[in-house]
Amino acid sequence: MKRFVMICAILAVLSAGGLFGYQYLKKNPGTTKEMTLDRLAEQTIQTEPISTNLNSDNLIQVRFSIELDSKKTKKQSEKVVPIIESDIIKLLSQSNKEDFKDIASIEQKLKDRLNQRFSQGKIINVYTTKLLIQ
């Protein structure tokens, strides 16, 4: 009889714990993912669409999203958007159509070049959001 009571008590505790865990997860799904997306949105700037000639006599139309390390860096970068876009145009005009077969390499070069502009803060990542080469 003692054994039966003990088994029932253990089952009751496990059931209560499972129910609590289920209710908690049901109420708060993906909280960390949402916080990450919010942080990403708060720390990202977008360039205007940029059109320029490539070194290979092609025309490129491109737009970038630039992820920064903090809101403070985002505010700093918003003040110098024309300089950032100028640096992008300079990098693109030195590139050939074939260079865009490896877009990650272009994004890395752009990230390295733009990071030289910041005395405080840095660029975490550069994303190509529009790309058209004619």
Confidence class of residue 36 from pLDDT cuts 50, 70 and 90?
A: confident
Classify residue 66 by burial, with Cβ atoms within 10 Å: 0-12, 13-18, 19+: buried
Q: Which of 15-24, 35-44, 46-55, 69-78 has the lowest mean pLDDT?
A: 15-24
Rounded Cα gap, residues 47 and 85, in angstroms: 7
Give the per-residue pLDDT at 44. Answer: 93
Give the per-residue pLDDT at 5. Answer: 77
Give the per-residue pLDDT at 30. Answer: 54
Confidence class of residue 28 from pLDDT cuts 50, 70 and 90?
A: low
Classify residue 22 by burial, with Cβ atoms within 10 Å: 0-12, 13-18, 19+: exposed
Residues pairing with 52 in the sheet: 60
Give the per-residue pLDDT at 33. Answer: 52
What tens digit of pLDDT does each residue of 64-99 get? Answer: 999 998 889 899 888 889 999 999 999 999 999 999
Give the per-residue pLDDT at 10. Answer: 78
Selection from 125, 129, 120 nearest residue 63 by Cα: 129
DSSP 43: T
Q: What is the pTM of this model?
A: 0.70
